[in-house]
Each structure stands twice: as structure tokens, then as C-alpha cells.
Amino acid sequence: MKKLLSLALISMLALPLAAFGQGTLKIGTVNMDRAFKEYSKTKEAEKKINDAKDAAKKEFDDRTDAYKKALEEVNNLNKQLESQALSADKKTQLAKDRDDKINNIKNMEREINEFRQTRENQLREQALRMREGIVKEITEIVNDKVKTLNLDLVFDKSGMSFNGVPLVMYSRDNYDFTNDVVTALNKPGRASTLNTEMPATSPVATTGTRANPPAPAKAPAAASATPKKP
């Protein structure tokens, strides 16, 4: 293992040393994390995701309220069935109504779980696509700067090693061109290929009406009630 590590280090150092010997090595650094956060499209994408999460939580809460109402109706029917004054026919009718509502509640449980999983997956996938699109645009700007500045190597100052150690321990300020990248990204009128529009959500089957949507019999864990932030 030590031998392999030594060979790896030698191979990594060979090119820089050779370039230094020729006096041609040009190095640049960029803070990708800062570029990502300061890109206006990042803020726009985050707002779209957060708005979609709020809408999903509202729909989840509406379904939960409807479920609680359905439970109360079942409990009321059970209390009525305990009455000794009811006729046999009335008891039979009430029992049928109660059983129908119980079956409806079971459907509500299934549907709310499908709703939660579907929305969480949609938000997660959309957040990932937006992030990939933003990183792609930043990388394109960085590559343009590499060509303009005729750089041989570029390091990400925000990058960390597997051991949690910064990949770039030190660099001169004049090597860093993060400001140029952020300025280029936010340049007015710059064409962007990033689509921050949220796709239409897939419909989730319901047994209730839109005014009284179904909800889970046993609400999912609190952490899952609101789709997690990407």
C-alpha cells in the first residue's frame, strides 16, 4: 500500500516538476463553492425548490386534516352503534356506513404514502438536475477562463480530501479567478441553458374530492411530512 501511494505521489508530482523546469507552468485557483452560492441562478433554483416543498407540505396537511375528519366520523358511528335504542335495521345501516368509511380510510393511508414518496422523489430529482445544470455552467465559464488565461492547472480551493483536509493548503491571491467567474456567470443578458421551472407534478390517486382530499391514517414520521431539502 505504501509503495502504491509513493508511486501515485511521484506520478502526480512528475508533471508539475517538469513544467517548472521548463518555466511554463501556469496555475489558477477557483472557489467552486463560492461561485455556486453567488450565482443568481442558484438562488432562483433554491426558491423554486422551497416553493414546491411548501406546496407539497400544504397538500400533505390538507390530506391529514381530511383523514382526521374521517376518523372522527368512524368514531361517532361506533358510539351510535353502542346505543340500545337503535332498531336492527338502523344498526345494520350504520354498521355498513362505518365499514365503508373504514375501507375509505385504508385507501387514504395508501394514497398519502404514495403522495409523500412521489413528491419527495420529484423534488429530489429536480434539485439534483438543477445542481448538475448549475455546476455545468460554472465549469464552462471556468474552462473559458482557463483558455483566456492560458492556464495549465486549476485547483478548486473549496475542495476537501477524503481525510477532510483542504486540497489546496495555500495559494497566492493573484492565482484566484473566482471573482471573474462570478462576474461572468451573473453578467446581464448572458445566455443560460439552466431551466429552473418545476415540472408538473404527477397526479396521485385520491378517493376523496379535491375539497376534501384523503390523508394518512397514521401520519408518516414528522421529518417526512415536509419533503427534505435537496
- Asked whether residue 60 is assigned to any structural domain, the reply reads yes
pLDDT at position 203 is 52
What is the rounded CA–CA span in Å between residue 104 and residue 3? 67
Domain count, the chain: 1
- Asked whether residue 17 is assigned to any structural domain, the reply reads no
Mean residue pLDDT of the chain comes to 78
pLDDT at position 172 is 86
- Asked whether residue 127 is assigned to any structural domain, the reply reads yes
pTM value surpassing 0.75: no
Question: Which residue numbers in the chain have pLDDT < 70?
Answer: 1-23, 196-230
Domain that holds residue 91: 33-137+183-188+206-217
- Asked whether residue 13 is assigned to any structural domain, the reply reads no
- Asked whether residue 119 is assigned to any structural domain, the reply reads yes
pLDDT digits (tens, 9 = 90+) for 36-66: 999 999 999 999 999 999 999 999 999 989 9
- Asked whether residue 27 is assigned to any structural domain, the reply reads no
pLDDT at position 204 is 52
pLDDT at position 209 is 32
- Asked whether residue 57 is assigned to any structural domain, the reply reads yes
- Asked whether residue 93 is assigned to any structural domain, the reply reads yes
* Contacts with 127 (C-beta within 8 Å, 6 or more apart), sequence order: 45, 49, 230
pLDDT at position 198 is 64
CA distance readout (Å), 39 to 190, 194, 197: 12, 12, 17
